[in-house]
C-alpha cells in the first residue's frame, strides 16, 4: 500500500478534519477553501487528505450506498486515485508553491491555462496553492478570475499564515478553515513516530516549537539544542561576573555569535526566548518554554532584576532590527553585548 495521507492519520486538527469530512459526505463542497495557521501545523497534509477523500473510489461508493458515520468518511489509501495522489503523480492534483519565496503571475497563468481544459480522470480536480501570501499582487488578481468563475469539477485549496496576508477579495471568495497550533502532546507523538530521536530532545523541542511540527524538526536537525545550551551557559556565567572581565566575556561571546552569519537571527531568537523565560519563571513557571532547563533558569532569574532583563530584551530587539536593515553584524552584536553587560552593572 502507498504511504497514504488520510484524515484519520492527521494529528491535532480535529476541527478541520470534521468540517471537510462533512462537506464530502453531504456533497456540499465549496469551490474554494482557505486553510490558515502557522507553518508546520498540517495544512498541506490536510489538503492532500482532502484531495484523496474527494477522489477515493471506495469512499465514493460508501457515500452513494449509505450515509457513513463521519469517522468512516476517509480515503481508503489503496484504490487507484488514492495511490496516485499519495505518490504525487495524479494528473488532476495540481500543486502551486512559491519559487524563491514568491508565487509569480507566470505560475498563475500556467494554472489558468491548465484549468481551461477538463480534468483528465479525476472526479474532483484539486488545486493546492500553498503559501498563498507569497503571491505578488498581479498573481493574486489573476487568481481572482478562477475564484469568481470556478471551472467545472475543480476545487481550490489555498493555504496561508493568516487572512490579513491576502487580498480581501480572495478571502471573501473562500470557505475559511482555521488550523490551530499543535499541542505539545501531538508534537511528541509525531516526533516519537518519526523515530531515532532521544526522549530528552523530544521533551525539550515539544515545549519550544510553538506548536509547529516543521519547526520542531528544524530544531532537532539544526543542532539547535546544542547552540541553545551553549548560549544559556555563557549568558549565565557572564551575568554572574559584573567586573571588567565580565564585559570582556560578553564581547568574546558576541564575537562567536557573529561568526556564524546564517545562524545569527536564530541565536538572537534563543537569547530572547531565554530572557522571556527569566521573566515568566518568576510568576508563571508552567508557561516557561525551556521546560528542560528550569534549574538553570532558576539560578539565572536570581542573578538579575526584572528591569535588567527588560533592558537586555530591548538590546536584543534593537540588534535584530538593525541586522534586518543590513548593518555590520559584528558591530551590531558588540553593541548589543555591551548594552547587555551594562544592564547587569546597573
Binding interface with Zn ion (CB under 5 A): 56, 58, 75-76, 79, 82
Q: Which residue, 124 or 188, is less far from Zn ion as judged by CB? A: 124
**Which residues face 135 on adjacent strands?**
103
Rounded Cα distance, 112 and 156, in Å: 12
C-alpha cell at 243: 567586573
Nearest approach in angstroms of CB 84 to Zn ion is 10
Q: Of the two residues 56 and 340, which places its CB atom closer to Zn ion in the complex?
A: 56
Work out how close the CB of 79 gets to Zn ion at its nearest, in angstroms, rounded to a whole number: 3
Residue (59 or 94) nearer to Zn ion, CB: 59
- Phi-psi category of residue 130: left, alpha or beta, with phi > 0 → left and psi -120 to 50 → alpha: beta
**Cβ–Cβ < 8 Å for 131, 159:** yes
Shortest spacing between CB 208 and Zn ion, in angstroms = 38
- The angle subtended at Cα 205 by Cα 202 and Cα 207, nearest 5°, is 110
**Residue 336, CA distances (Å) to 278, 286, 292, 321, 331 in order:** 18, 29, 27, 12, 9
SS3 call for 289: coil
CB of 57 to Zn ion, least distance (A): 6
Cell match 484549468: residue?
115
Grid cell at residue 85: 495522489
Q: How far is the CB of 64 from Zn ion (least distance, A)?
A: 14
Minimum CB distance to Zn ion smaller for 82 or for 174: 82
Q: Which CB, 86 or 209, lies closer to Zn ion?
A: 86
Amino acid at each position: 500500500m502507498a504511504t497514504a495521507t488520510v484524515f484519520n492519520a492527521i494529528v491535532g486538527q480535529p476541527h478541520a478534519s470534521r468540517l471537510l469530512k462533512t462537506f464530502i459526505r453531504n456533497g456540499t463542497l465549496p469551490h474554494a477553501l482557505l486553510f490558515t495557521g502557522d507553518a508546520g501545523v498540517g495544512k498541506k497534509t490536510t489538503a492532500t487528505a482532502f484531495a484523496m477523500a474527494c477522489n477515493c473510489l471506495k469512499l465514493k461508493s460508501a457515500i452513494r450506498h449509505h450515509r457513513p458515520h463521519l469517522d468512516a468518511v476517509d480515503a481508503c489509501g489503496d484504490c487507484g486515485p488514492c495511490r496516485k495522489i499519495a505518490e504525487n503523480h495524479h494528473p488532476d492534483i495540481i500543486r502551486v508553491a512559491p519559487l524563491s519565496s514568491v508565487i509569480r503571475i507566470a505560475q498563475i497563468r500556467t494554472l489558468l491555462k491548465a484549468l481551461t481544459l477538463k480534468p483528465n480522470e479525476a472526479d474532483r480536480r484539486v488545486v493546492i496553492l500553498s503559501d498563498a501570501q507569497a503571491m505578488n499582487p498581479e498573481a493574486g488578481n489573476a487568481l481572482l478570475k478562477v475564484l469568481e468563475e470556478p471551472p467545472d469539477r475543480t476545487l481550490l485549496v489555498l493555504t496561508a499564515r493568516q487572512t490579513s496576508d491576502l487580498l480581501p477579495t480572495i478571502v471573501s471568495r473562500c470557505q475559511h478553515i482555521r488550523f490551530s497550533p499543535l499541542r505539545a502532546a501531538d508534537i511528541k507523538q509525531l516526533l516519537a513516530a518519526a523515530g531515532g530521536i532521544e526522549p530528552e530532545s523530544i521533551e525539550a523541542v515539544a515545549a519550544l516549537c510553538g506548536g509547529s511540527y516543521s519547526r520542531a524538526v528544524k530544531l532537532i536537525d539544526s543542532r539547535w539544542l546544542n547552540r541553545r545550551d551553549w548560549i544559556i551557559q555563557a549568558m549565565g556565567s557572564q551575568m554572574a561576573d559584573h567586573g571588567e572581565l565580565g564585559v570582556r566575556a560578553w564581547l568574546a561571546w558576541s564575537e562567536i555569535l557573529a561568526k556564524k552569519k546564517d545562524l545569527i537571527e536564530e541565536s538572537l531568537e534563543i537569547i530572547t526566548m531565554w530572557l522571556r523565560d527569566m521573566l515568566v519563571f518568576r510568576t508563571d513557571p508552567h508557561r516557561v518554554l525551556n521546560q528542560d532547563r528550569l534549574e538553570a533558569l532558576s539560578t539565572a532569574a536570581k542573578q538579575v532584576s526584572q528591569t535588567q532583563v527588560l533592558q537586555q530584551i530591548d538590546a536584543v530587539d534593537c540588534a535584530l532590527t538593525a541586522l534586518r536593515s543590513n548593518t555590520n553584524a559584528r558591530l551590531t552584536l558588540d553593541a548589543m553585548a555591551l548594552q547587555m553587560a551594562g544592564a547587569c552593572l546597573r
